[in-house]
A and B are shown apart, each in its own frame.
Chain A
C-alpha cells in the first residue's frame, strides 16, 4: 500500500468555486503533514503545513483527521492562478524521510 494516496483528478472548476481535495496516509506514526503546490514543469513549493487543529491561510483551509488518517485542503473562491497540481506530503520524523502523493490536478476555468 502506498504511503500517501490522492485522487489524481483532474478537477476542472469555474472561477469562484469552492473545491476540496483529500489525501490518505497509511502509517499512523506519521507526524508532520503538508500541502505543496507544483506548477507545470516547475519545482514543488510549500503551500501550507497542516496542524492537528486545522489551519487557514486566506482562501485555503487545511484539516487533519488522525483517527481516519486523512488530510484535506479546501480552496474557496478559486482563481485562475490556483490552477496547478497539489501534492500531499507526510513525514514520519524518522530520518527526515518525506512521502509525497502523486498529486491532484486542478484547472480553474474562466
Chain B
C-alpha cells in the first residue's frame, strides 16, 4: 500500500518549458488536490477534484491545468513555466467522510530558471 505517490521528486525547468506532474493514490479516495507551498505563504490550493471526471479551481489556478485521468490519478500541467512557479508541489487525496483527513504525497520540488 503506497498511499499517495508523486513523480518526479525534483525538476529544473527553463522559463517557457512545459511539464506534467503526476500523482496517484491507491486508497480508493474520491477527492484529490494539488497544492503549492512557498516560504511564508503556507500551502495554497491550485486545483482539486471531488470525483473522477470533475475538477475545480482553487486559490491559485493561473498558469496550471489539471486532468483527473481516472479515480487513482490526478495530474498537474504547467504549459509555459515561469520563475514564479518555483515551489514545492504536493498532491493529496481524501476519503469523503469524517475525519476528512488528507493524505499527502512526498512532494515535487520544482525550480524554474
Contact = CB atoms under 8 A, between A and B. Distances in A.
- A and B physically associate: yes
Interface of A: 4, 8, 32, 34, 42-46, 49, 87, 91, 95-103
Contact of B102 (A4, A46, A95, A103): A46
Interface residues of B, number: 26
B42 A43 contact: no
Contacts of B94: 96
Contacts, number: 53
Interface of B: 31, 33, 35, 40-45, 48, 50, 56, 58-59, 90, 94, 96, 98-102, 104-107
A96 B50 contact: yes
A104 to B, nearest CB: 11
Contacts of B42: 4, 87, 100-103
Contacts of A96: 31, 33, 48, 50, 94, 96
11 contacts: A34-B101, A43-B104, A46-B102, A49-B99, A49-B101, A91-B100, A95-B50, A96-B94, A98-B33, A100-B42, A103-B42
A65 to B, nearest CB: 20
Contacts of B100: 32, 34, 49, 91
Which residue of A8, A91, A96, A103 has the most chain B CB atoms within 10 A of its CB atom?
Answer: A96
Contacts of A87: 42-43
A44 B56 contact: no
Contact of B106 (A42, A91, A99, A100): A42
A52 to B, nearest CB: 13
Contacts of B98: 49
Given A96-B94, A100-B43, A102-B40, A43 B105 contact: yes
A49 B98 CA distance: 9
A87 B41 CA distance: 12
A32 B99 CA distance: 9
